[in-house]
Amino acid sequence: MLVRCATPLSVRPGRRRPSDLSGRRAASAVGTGDPALIDDLVAANRILFQQGVVDGFGHVSVRHPARSDAFLLARSMAPALVTAGDIMAFDFDAVPLDGDDRPAYLERFIHSEIYRTRPDVMAVVHSHSPNVIPFGIVKTVKLQPVCHMSGFIGAAAPVFEIRETAGDASDMLVRDRTLGAALAASLGSSSVVLMRGHGSTVVGTGIRQVVFRAIYTEVNARLQSEAMRLGTPTVLTPAEAENSARTNDGAMHRAWDLWRRAAMGDG
């Protein structure tokens, strides 16, 4: 079971929005004009829960399609319960737009600082998926791609050590811009960064890709752990990783359609 010791943070006062908006009304409320994007963001939250990547904690965001300096993220709540009306818009200082005063995820700075430093990133998932966490704890073993579905990991996932920025008495949470920037620096140009004793953050060029990557990061960690029980795993070469990732990007709609139906009851 995933465990997190964070409490939601209330943000600046202002106008509230109802949480039962339709996708179209919610898209208008956050200024995207794109109800399909809102629907995909809601589905992403549900899928990640249904696939065991998140439980009551963790979050997924998408870059705002109409503003280069903003992103969309649900209010602070369990991902499996997110609806269209729960989506909020934030600027790159992680401040809610339009005076939305609902409680926001404390670690929204993970998202804001990655979007600030990585123009290529269009979606972000932060989770505490259990099979990934050991690879951020044990310094002698790196998370590396061991199957073709996880070539996006590249040579190996970097590890963010929060002590290097926050010292040795933090609560392990990325709760401000300084820590968010340090995490983004550890991520670098990679698709996955592990967070020692905490979890991981995965990035992608869109919601569907980042969900695919978050799920197969967890799958790869489980497979690598199992392989290490038998011996020394053979990992993908850089060329194998790059080419398999490209192939999977062209076919990931098959997985998305399956996961969405399982999580949402539709196609």
Q: Would you say 73 and 11 are in contact if contact means Cβ atoms under 8 Å apart?
A: no
DSSP states of 69-108: TEEEEE-SS-GGG--GGGEEEEETTSPBGGG--S-B-TTH
The CA-CA-CA angle for residues 263, 39, 12, to 5°, reads 110
- 30, 97 in Cβ contact below 8 A? yes
Q: Report phi then psi at 61, rounded to 5.
A: -135, 170
CA distances for 260 relative to 19, 46, 254, angstroms? 21, 8, 10
CB 114 within 8 A of CB 124: yes
For 221, list phi and psi in degrees, rounded to 5: -60, -40
Residue 30 in tokens: 């956050």
Here the tokens at position 206 are: 């869109």
**Positions marked catalytic:** 107
> What CA–CA distances, in Å, run from 97 to 23, 124, 148?
18, 19, 40
Q: What is the CA radius of gyration of the chain?
A: 18
**Phi, psi (5° rounding) for residue 204?**
-160, 180
CA angle 14, 58, 144 (to 5 degrees): 140
